[in-house]
Amino acid sequence: MYYLTAEASFDGAHFLAGYEGKCSNLHGHRWRVILNIEAEELQAEGQQRGMVVDFGDVKSALKKETDYFDHTFIYEEGSLKETTVAALKDENFLMRVVPFRPTAENFSKYFFEKFTSYGFKVAEVTVYETPNNCASYRED
């Protein structure tokens, strides 16, 4: 089995609604996304002969998906009052609403599904919330 690994990062703020502790407050992270792609065989023909996939394609997908969240306020759908969202938008804050609690665990599954939709055979996605803490998602 061949494995290809690429990574990218983004800076984003979030909070955890319904959490009792420091993470219930708005705070930021440098999120690090590590994508692992697998293949039983290398491509046999064409420009990508001898490759799992072109690193350029992987880097492009990583950049697109991580840039979407870079320097934004990421919040779970329904976790803020409509008046709060309206006030933040009125102040021109760039916000990204997600249909899940914005944890490293949920982001690892989110990015797994995103990169799979690009046609990559994703083995695993790991998301670091801090330099020492991460969560991974893979389907066995």
Domains detected in the chain: 2-137 (3.30.479.10)
Query: Do 95 and 85 touch, CB atoms closer than 8 A?
Result: yes
pLDDT, one tens digit per residue, over 59-114 is 999 999 999 999 999 999 999 999 999 999 999 999 999 999 999 999 999 999 99
**Cα angle for residues 39, 9, 108 (degrees, 5° grid):** 55
Q: What percent of the chain has pLDDT over 90?
A: 98
Q: Could you tell me the pTM of the whole model? A: 0.94
Whether 129 is a known active-site residue: answer yes
Question: Which pLDDT score is estimated for 102?
Answer: 98
CA dist 57 and 74 (Å) reads 26
Q: Is 38 a catalytic residue?
A: no
Note if 23 is an active site residue: yes
User: 4 labelled as ligand-binding?
Assistant: no
Q: Which two tokens stand for residue 21?
A: 């502790």
Asked if 23 contacts 15 with a C-beta cutoff of 8 angstroms, the reply is yes
Residue by residue, DSSP assigns 29-54 as EEEEEEEEEEESS---SSTTTT-SS-
